[in-house]
Structure 1
Amino acid sequence: MMNSLLGTTILQAIAFTGAVSTVPVSLDGKDIPHPVWHHMAMPSETVPMTVPAGMTAYLNGDRIEAADAFIAPEVSGTYSLEFRNLDDEREYKVALFVLEPSDRVDAEGRLNGFRMGAYPEKTPRGFIRLDEGYGDINVSPSFQIGQFLCHQQPDHWPKYLLISSDNLKRLEVLLDALNRDGITDADTFFVMSAFRSPFYNTAIGSARLSRHMYGDATDIYIDVAPKDGLMDDINRDGAINKADADFLYDYAQDLFANTKEVPRGGLGSYKANAVHGPFVHVDGRGRSARWGR
């Protein structure tokens, strides 16, 4: 297994947001929205790219000679894709995930021992392979890949998962606005639940077509003051309850409705139970969906 992207802390990732070219780099026709980002490709797949004049791309430290495409490595794993300016300063750092093809899931529904199960429909083409020790890889300025792991087989490696670029864009916009408005000073959200394998999704009795199975759903809350595993009192009424989840829900709904180019998706508000505190569901399903308010 070839895993050579060194983990970058969240604070380091935010520090990269300095001098970025006014012309964005694109991969597969999509602009990279942040100086720290991610991309997924199949083994040996040709990845089209656009690199502005004066900028050079590097894959695992080796310069990519072509300016319009590169070939993804043939071995599934995590790689480093960087774009540097004429002064050899890094302007974009991309975690390149070469996916483990889904046709490698065996007859028992396992992928290298990880219990994936079977998708009821629309089986993804592949999954991110994450080996032990690589959970601190940044996939956006404020989030690391380890935050999105499924809560199963804690001692088993490698683990497999999916993430959603559209949902990460939504999360980054939401976190930035909350900080800008002085509601929190959180570096990230606490991600209570993100990717779920079909096996795990069935085991916990979740919806048959849950977006969590496709990596584009996250259950989140703000946990900073104090950092205690529960939602903060963000509505400042002296209590921590569903009113805080509703506050975050309402804030996110208004923000997404009034912010241009934010991908469409779902929002849900949930009360506490015996297992967890209040939280908000955010997903990037591509259409508006609202519940729980």
Structure 2
Amino acid sequence: MQFIHYISIAIFTLIFSNHVFAAAPTKAAHQVVNIKNKANFEDAEFSLKINDIVMPYSVFSVFVMPQEQVEFEVLFAQSRNAYTLINTQGNSKLTDTNRWQWQAPNEPGLTTVIIESPDKKQRMKINVFVKVPASNVEGGKLKYYHIGHYPKPSQIKDTSHYIVPDGFVKVTPKNENVKISPHFSLKEFVSKQRSKHPKYLFLQNKLLLKLEKIRKELILEGIPVSNMVVMSGYRTPYYNKSIGNVKLSRHVFGDAADIFIDNDGNYRMDDINNDGKHSIGDAKAVADIVESLARRESFKGLLGGLGIYGPKSHRGAFIHVDTRGFKARWVSK
């Protein structure tokens, strides 16, 4: 299925703190075309550029530091009139047509930015998680939560492919079920170590884009996906060391996930290749579709690792994906 967007540049307004800014119309919009089979997808009818990523979903998230600047820009607008940015916290200013510079609040926590079409029928909800600065980690802990110790730059061969956390999202019973993309919630990516709340998480939103694209592609290829399980998302260096994993695991840097399709709810990879067995072949069938995505130009910014893992006595088959920035491939039986 192919989505067709139409670009329009027109009057713009900004609503924030009861102020409205407007400019004269510049160009009439093209006719809006209805998208068929909307029930299969959770895309919004316009796209939103958030700093250096573009996302088309009705709900998404960003993870920022206190007072960090974030740029929001409407792409492929479906109306000739102005879109609005609505937020009760932070500071915002209009910088161009349907483009805003927004500054996060000073205190860590969750706030919401809404981008809304003039007729209020199209809306994007961006859950913004303001992180607790990494400088608050003392002795490898945040409060009573074990973080461990990240490698020093001198211990990393190519620092451009490893983003050491500048801060951590505080995860609580109140926010852990918040949707951070159409099909994933915050708690699914928390490190698996035993701990009471609050817990702390480092996550890169490019990983969320990749997982959503993989899920959609599987559906387009005829593989039903009602439940994509994140078996392992973020791992603190403390937990990563405790399970004997490599020191520079992508999970430690918040851009990796081990996933499988579990529509029947038995916490094992489904029989994806329909051979009547649960084997590494099911993981390979999913990986083949991910590989087909990786060959597309539109997927270039999400390139990364792809690992195939066969089943063990304590778990089923799964695949590993990450957004390290270059291709890496491996198979583990």
TM-score if structure 2 supplies the norm length?
0.76
Task: Note closer, same or farther for the CA distance 1:272–1:284 as it changes in structure 2 (3 Å cut).
Answer: same
Post-superposition Cα deviations, 1:251-280, rounded to whole Å, max 9, x if no partner, equal 221232246234111100111223211110
Alignment match, 1:182: 222
Alignment match, 2:10: none
The structural deviation recorded for 1:127 is 1.1
Task: Note closer, same or farther for the CA distance 1:275–1:17 as it changes in structure 2 (3 Å cut).
Answer: same
Distance 1:289 1:229 in 2: 27
Task: Note closer, same or farther for the CA distance 1:33–1:45 as it changes in structure 2 (3 Å cut).
Answer: same
Matched, 1:125 2:166: yes
Distance 2:55 2:150 in 1: 30
The structural deviation recorded for 1:203 is 0.4
The structural deviation recorded for 1:231 is 0.5
Distance 2:292 2:48 in 1: 30
Distance 2:116 2:246 in 1: 44
Instruction: Mark the runs of 5 or more structure 1 residues left unpaired by the alignment.
Output: 1-12
Distance 2:220 2:73 in 1: 32
The letter for the 2-side match of 1:49 is: F
Matched, 1:56 2:84: yes
- Which has the higher relative contact order, 1 or 2, with Cα contacts under 8 A spaced 6 or more apart? 1
Helix, strand or coil at the partner of 2:298: coil
Post-superposition Cα deviations, 1:92-136, rounded to whole Å, max 9, x if no partner, equal 111101011101001x21112110010013531111111113222
Bigger radius of gyration among the two: 2
Post-superposition Cα deviations, 1:42-64, rounded to whole Å, max 9, x if no partner, equal 11223233357611112248994
The structural deviation recorded for 1:89 is 3.8
Distance 1:218 1:286 in 2: 15
Matched, 1:138 2:161: no
Q: Percent identity?
A: 32
Note if contact 1:267-1:289 (Cα within 8 Å) is conserved in structure 2: yes
Distance 2:41 2:89 in 1: 21
Alignment match, 2:130: 98
Greater strand content: 2
The equivalences for 1:158-237 within 5 A come to 158-184=198-224, 186-224=225-263, 226-237=264-275
Helix, strand or coil at the partner of 1:251: helix
Deviating more after overlay: 258-267 vs 196-205: 258-267
Q: How many residues align?
A: 274
Distance 2:297 2:101 in 1: 32
Instruction: Mark the runs of 5 or more structure 2 residues left unpaired by the alignment.
Output: 1-38, 153-162
Alignment match, 2:309: 270
The equivalences for 1:12-51 within 5 A come to 17-18=43-44, 20-21=45-46, 24-51=47-74
Alignment match, 1:3: none
Distance 2:85 2:120 in 1: 10
